[in-house]
């Protein structure tokens, strides 16, 4: 009960535009620097270089969710293209993650599609893989529609499916030939569309992972849950799943020891590296996911004092 109340509180904060505006002026505070690489591309590249030296690859996310005008969305589009061009000059293995609300989805779907078309064209030119992040359920169907249209021009684009959604397995089967990042889900959704119990979500998550792995299409398994990771390893070994058809993904700043254990065992591990001034919503969702994450914020506050 206490965890649910805490989770609801931080998810509420994550959607507050005013707080995000203040956070831009604060800079990375309250422990956010533990899990956000910095505010600039150079910050993110320095982190990527450090991670690469540890045998880890990256996926960059230029944070930004509170977009209310076409001008802001075009700025975000240009920033994504610039990120792709910068990645292309780096010897490191880096993918790009994008959020459609940052690119104008809440303003106009066709406008967002055009922005994504420009991004995907740049990604195809520079051979950079793009993953469309899945946001709250309000934008779910729109995201899948845009994905379908984009894959007609570039197959090196995928998306995220959230295991807490009741119809996620059905959509997984429809996207059987699409590279997917599979996650449990981090937004607060109604019981009508999402499972609420951890045990059910975990089981659904594992079933989705094994189903997609058997398709032979690239699968990113994004979780810090060592129990699920252990079950997946047992599954791939038993079923002779090639190790180049999947990877484990972690959020930057979480479970580095487990990351290294997996690398030493010969598994690919990619780190989700967020950067940018709009860090507040992302940080609040991480606090909502696990009560232990609040320790980051507490340490940050004490250090500030």
Evaluate the CA torsion angle 64, 66, 70, 71 in order and state its sign: negative
**110 noted as active-site residue:** no
Q: Catalytic one among 133, 202, 278, 286?
A: 133
Residue 184 neighbours by CB under 8 Å, 6+ apart: 162, 163, 164, 201, 202, 205, 223, 225
Separation of first and last alpha carbons in the chain: 31
**133 noted as active-site residue:** yes
Alpha-carbon gap, residue 61 to 133, rounded angstroms: 9
Q: How far is CA 305 from CA 33, 284, 302, in A?
A: 16, 21, 5
Closest CA relative to residue 101, chosen from 61, 128, 135: 135
Q: Catalytic one among 7, 61, 151, 181?
A: 181
Residues designated catalytic: 133, 181
């Amino acid at each position: 009960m206490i965890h649910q109340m805490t989770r609801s509180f931080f998810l509420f904060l994550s959607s507050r535009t005013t707080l995000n505006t203040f956070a831009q002026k604060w800079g990375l505070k309250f422990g956010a620097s533990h899990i956000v690489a910095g505010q600039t591309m150079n910050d993110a590249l320095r982190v990527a270089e450090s991670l690469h030296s540890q045998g880890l690859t990256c996926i960059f996310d230029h944070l930004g969710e509170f977009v209310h005008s076409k001008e802001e969305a075009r700025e975000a589009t240009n920033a994504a293209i610039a990120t792709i061009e910068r990645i292309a000059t780096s010897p490191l293995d880096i993918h790009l993650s994008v959020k459609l609300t940052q690119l104008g989805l809440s303003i106009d779907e066709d406008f967002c599609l055009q922005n994504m078309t420009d991004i995907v064209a740049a990604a195809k030119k520079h051979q950079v893989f793009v993953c469309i992040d899945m946001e709250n359920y309000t934008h779910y169907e729109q995201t899948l529609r845009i994905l379908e249209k984009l894959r007609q021009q570039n197959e090196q684009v995928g998306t995220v499916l959230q295991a807490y959604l009741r119809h996620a397995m059905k959509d997984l089967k429809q996207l059987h030939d699409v590279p997917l990042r599979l996650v449990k889900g981090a937004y607060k959704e109604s019981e009508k569309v999402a499972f609420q119990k951890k045990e059910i979500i975990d089981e659904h998550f594992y079933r989705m992972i094994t189903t997609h792995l058997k398709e032979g299409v690239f699968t990113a398994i994004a979780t810090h849950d060592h129990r699920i990771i252990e079950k997946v390893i047992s599954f791939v070994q038993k079923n002779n799943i090639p190790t180049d058809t999947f990877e484990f993904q972690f959020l930057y700043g979480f479970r580095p020891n487990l990351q290294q254990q997996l690398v030493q065992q010969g598994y690919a591990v990619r780190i989700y590296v967020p950067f940018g001034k709009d860090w507040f919503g992302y940080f609040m969702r991480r606090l909502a996911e696990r009560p232990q994450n609040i320790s980051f914020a507490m340490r940050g506050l004490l250090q500030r004092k």
